[in-house]
Amino acid sequence: MNKAMRREISPFIAMEVFKAANLREQAGDPVFHMEVGQPATSAPSRVIEAAKRALDGEQIGYTNALGITPLREAIAKHYKDFYGVEVSPERVIVTTGSSGGFLLSFLSAFERGDNVVLAEPGYPAYRNILTSLDLNPIGLPCDASTNFQPTPELIDRLEGPLHGLLVASPSNPAGTMLHRNELAALVEYCQDRNMPFISDEIYHGITYEEPATTALELTDDAIIINSFSKFFSMTGWRLGWMVVPERMVADIEKLAQNLFISPPALSQHAAVAAFEDMSELEGYVTNYARNRELLLRELPKLGLDKLASADGAFYIYADVREFTNDSMAFCQRMLEETGVAAAPGLDFDPHRGNGFVRFSFAGSFATIEAAIDRLKRWPVLHR
């Protein structure tokens, strides 16, 4: 990819909205943040205490490129405790956020020019990271008929050679999940075609009707990406992990050494404590569930009644085509006139996202309640 093409990579629009919302806030105007997927809660208290102990007792320097052994062991144990799946710590790779995991997985799984299938709507950084690596993101149009998730039948409609599939369950922006049999069908589809299967599981733990299935329950050959940012409420700690087939570990280690040297050391030492007691984290999920219930009840009263199922994560993906065919302008006007900040669907689906908006309910109940009150008085929704 030449320099001009790299300049053409799209911005992360949700972060642009976040910047505009912050400017409004700095000017003294009220803002109700529903644009970014950042929990309003702090890191778990055990993690904060562990960080303090590490500062007092550890040399915060470089670590092994794959992460410190106690953290890799704790993550492996988490798979046994949470899913009943045996994972060797040697297959666990600690990364600089899930973003580092995506970069390492794409570089290790694909060759330049490969075509990688992604659901649309989907997390925009997938598309932009792939493009920056001279890989081709192949958007797979998904809608409510498949719960905004890919299926083998949809993939078969794509033309040309395909070299990999990335799925997210729960997903961003729709919050929808693949049931175990649906995930198994996609895993089998990829295995039959010798295509790498990458499973984004960063919203695992944040589900409302049933627990999410990890692809590791179905195969040892998948590449798993997870993060401490969402369920563990540690966005700024910039820490994630991968679980990969044993054959990939050595190559990924060399890449990690050169690209990152090591993940953030202080965050690693602190994160070991994140697995010691889940009760605080489960309380966070209870709060998200309360926010979700409020939005699913109140948004349809405002005419926003075509909503994705929001099985997990902390997003409502709303069809706003009754009100606009320009979700960017809609969100800008909503911020200016109500103070409610939300992400336009164009961020997640460059072809059909002009008719959708994503509302994040990762904030406090008071924020969500106040946002609904503002929207109830917004004339655009009452024409």
Q: What is the pLDDT of residues 30-73, one digit of tens each?
A: 999 999 888 989 999 999 999 999 999 877 899 999 999 999 99
Residue-wise pLDDT tens digits, 339-374: 999 999 988 999 999 999 999 999 999 999 999 999
Q: What is the largest CA-CA distance in the chain?
A: 62
What pLDDT does residue 73 have? 98
Q: What domains appear along the chain, each with residue ranges and CATH number? A: 3-42+279-382 (3.40.640.10), 45-275 (3.40.640.10)
- CA gap 103, 113 in Å, rounded: 15
What pLDDT does residue 371 have? 97
- Residue 145 burial by CB count (10 A; 0-12/13-18/19+): exposed, middle or buried? exposed
pTM of the model: 0.93
Tokens of 258: 């050169």
How many angstroms from the chain centroid is the CA of residue 279? 22
Q: Which residues is 168 bridged to in the sheet?
A: 200
- CA gap 230, 44 in Å, rounded: 12
What pLDDT does residue 47 have? 96
- CA gap 269, 106 in Å, rounded: 27
Pairing of strands 315-319, 240-243: unpaired
- CA gap 341, 375 in Å, rounded: 11
Q: Low-confidence residues of the chain, pLDDT below 70?
A: 1-9, 11-12, 383
Tokens of 120: 């649309």
What pLDDT does residue 8 have? 63
Q: Can you state the percent helix, strand and coil of the chain, rounding each to 5?
A: 45, 15, 40
Element (H, E) at 139: strand 136-141
